[in-house]
Amino acid sequence: MLLTSRFLTGATTLLSSCTLGLLVSGCSVTPTKEQVGVTSITALSQDVKDPCVIYDDELNTFTLPEPAEIWPRIRAGFNIPDSAANNGAQRIAKRLSWYEKHPNHISAVTQRGALYLHFILEKLDEKNLPHELALIPMAESGFDPFAYSHATASGLWQFMPRTGKHLGLKQNWWYDGRRDVTASTEAALNYLSRLNKQFKGDWLLTLAAYNGGQGTVRRSIKRNRKKGKPTDYWSLKLPKETEQYIPKILALKEIILRPDIHNVTLPPVANTPYFALAQIDSQLDLAQAAKLANVDIEEIYQLNPGFNQWATSPDGPHLLVVPAAKYDNFIQALQALPNNERVTWERYTIKPGDALASIAQKYHTNTALLKEINHLKSNTIRAGKTLLIPRAHQANHFYVLSSAQRSRAQQDTRKSIRLKYTVKSGDSLWTIARQYNTTTRNLTRWNNITPRDTLRIGQTLTILDRSSNARTTRKINYTVRNGDSLARIANKHNVSISELERWNAINRKDILKLGATLVLHIDRGRS
């Protein structure tokens, strides 16, 4: 696909190495007639001799090839004016300062996003939407499709269960469409488009409504209108999270526009599809899928986070995301796989005292599926009869990112103590993970790194020790009272001030507001 002139809007700060002088990293964008100072396409074709330029005689248009990397393409599609008032500029600057002090955070998040960014940009261009919207998953979930908020929002786009259902995203025991990368992206962009029409093309109000709810934004606009105040985003009184949300996105935009100025190195991300969508027609064990695609089971889950269990959903969607480089071989291997090997089946003889629910629990499935497979009209079963039961091809722990395994890992984390490990010669993420009976994904998550990062001798890694001697903790919300200070709260709950700062992203010099809520993680053994 060739870029069009639409992508130039909002990218005027960028320079170019091409004759047309429009974009960093060579030829990338289609210029408009106004931008090159000519009055006709014919004149442009005669005046410009740059070999980067492609002129289509039939369509009478100029185009330039897409950039090899994703970042120039993202910059070229930035199209939302900041229009920040003084207080808005201060809010953006505050968030920008945080990112500048935490460059590793940006690096880790953007590397996670490398799997999904090209797909999201393709969808944005399809729908003629600004590229700033590609930063929403960066701000919402850190490009972690398994991100789950305290408010039960889930997935890259952080949909609440009710919102997800309203947008047509299925949620059941087998599958959660809120985490499905392709389905949730389509739903999010459709939702944002509808919101933008409601707010008459104002993207800042649209983003505020996406985060805080359209009703919240409308009520705030109505209040300001009654008082004769401006009704732009920067003038509205909104929930604290929503007031911080747009500055976060605009700060990320500024960093991607000018990473060097802000002491951030953006990892190279190819401007090519990382994955392809395969039609699989019926249920497939994810261990089989990993084997057919010749990839690790973790990558299958990372690309297909919507699947909760050890297999795709029997009711669909019968689609599987696989690395683009593996797609052809996967399709060939899938076609050669006999239907009876897609999922392992077991015949179970019902014993006296058995219940359908207990059998379902034993085999990590659900009663509805057992009833459907075995043509049962009710939950009543008879001893001596047999049931056909789908069974995972591998042991449960093999499906490292299934819902049950993620839940178990979270429980283990709450029972963990932190250890520090110093990298030695010959170490790798795999050998360290094996030594501590964990996974490479856990190591990368605990240390805010990616699997592709090179370990340095002497580097310190954090390990969460899940031994039985580790103390368990409970999370509490503490409401700041009159006379409270960080020192007083820390002393009362037997925690340190530095822990309070880390848990709440605050500084001990900050003034605590009466009624504010602080998060505390209290060790049961010392509370």
Catalytic site residue from 69, 132, 140, 186: 140
Q: Please say whether the beta carbons of 439 and 432 come within 8 A.
A: no
Q: Residue 36 carries which side chain, given as an amino acid letter?
A: V
25 SS3 class: coil
61 SS3 class: strand
Q: Are strands 417-422 and 386-391 parallel, antiparallel or unpaired?
A: unpaired
Q: Across 193-326, where does the E strand assignment appear?
A: 275-279, 319-323
Q: Please say whether the beta carbons of 140 and 254 come within 8 A.
A: no
Cis peptide upstream of residue 317 (ω within 30 degrees of 0): yes
> How far apart, in whole angstroms, are the C-alpha atoms of residue 347 and residue 364?
15
Q: Please say whether the beta carbons of 295 and 137 come within 8 A.
A: no
> How far apart, in whole angstroms, are the C-alpha atoms of residue 441 and residue 219?
43
- Report in angstroms the alpha-carbon separations of 190 from 134, 168, 184: 14, 11, 10
Query: Into which CATH architecture does domain 473-523 fall?
Result: Roll (3.10)
Strand partners, 300: none
Cβ neighbours of 518 (radius 10 Å): 18
The residue ranking higher by pLDDT, 213 or 67, is 213
Domain 344-392 grouped into CATH 3.10.350.10: yes
> How far apart, in whole angstroms, are the C-alpha atoms of residue 175 and residue 185?
16
CATH for 86-257 is 1.10.530.10
Asked if 140 is an active-site residue, the reply is yes
Q: Please say whether the beta carbons of 108 and 449 come within 8 A.
A: yes
6-10, 78-82, 115-119: least confidently modelled range: 6-10
> How far apart, in whole angstroms, are the C-alpha atoms of residue 327 and residue 280?
12
Tens of pLDDT along 339-390?
888 887 788 999 998 889 888 878 777 788 788 888 898 888 989 999 988 7
Tens of pLDDT along 243-291?
999 999 999 999 999 999 998 889 899 999 999 999 999 889 888 999 9
The length of the chain is: 527
> How far apart, in whole angstroms, are the C-alpha atoms of residue 70 and residue 115?
12
- Give the global pTM: 0.65
* pLDDT grade for 197, boundaries at 50, 70 and 90: very high
17-26, 150-159, 205-214: least confidently modelled range: 17-26
User: ∠398-402-405 over CA atoms, to 5°?
Assistant: 70
- Return all residues near 408 (Cβ < 8 A) that are at least 6 apart: none
User: ∠442-446-448 over CA atoms, to 5°?
Assistant: 110
Q: What is the rounded average pLDDT for all residues in the chain?
A: 79
The dihedral sign for the CA sequence 262, 77, 3, 271: positive
Of 322, 329, 381, 328, residue with least CA distance to 351: 381
The residue ranking higher by pLDDT, 464 or 220, is 220
Give the rounded distance of the alpha carbon of 60 from its chain centre. Answer: 40
| Tokens describing residue 404 | 């049950």
Tokens 């600004």, located at residue: 130
297 SS3 class: helix
Asked if domains 86-257 and 415-465 share a fold, the reply is no
- Span 310-315, mean pLDDT? 84
Q: Where are the domains of the chain?
A: 5-76, 86-257, 275-340, 344-392, 415-465, 473-523
**What homologous superfamily does CATH list for 415-465?**
LysM domain (3.10.350.10)
- Return all residues near 472 (Cβ < 8 A) that are at least 6 apart: 414, 415, 523, 524, 525
DSSP label of 307: B
What is residue 486's predicted lDDT score, i.e. its pLDDT?
83
240 SS3 class: helix
3-state helix vs strand vs coil in the chain, percent to 5: 45, 10, 45
The H-assigned helical ranges of 390-519 are 403-414, 429-435, 440-447, 486-492, 497-504
What is residue 473's predicted lDDT score, i.e. its pLDDT?
56
Q: Taking 80 as the threshold, does the pLDDT of residue 137 lie above it?
A: yes
- Report in angstroms the alpha-carbon separations of 303 from 117, 143, 165, 203, 356: 12, 12, 21, 29, 33
Tens of pLDDT along 400-432?
555 555 555 554 444 455 677 888 888 888 888
> How far apart, in whole angstroms, are the C-alpha atoms of residue 357 and residue 335?
35
- Report in angstroms the alpha-carbon separations of 218 from 80, 143, 214, 243, 526: 20, 29, 6, 15, 47
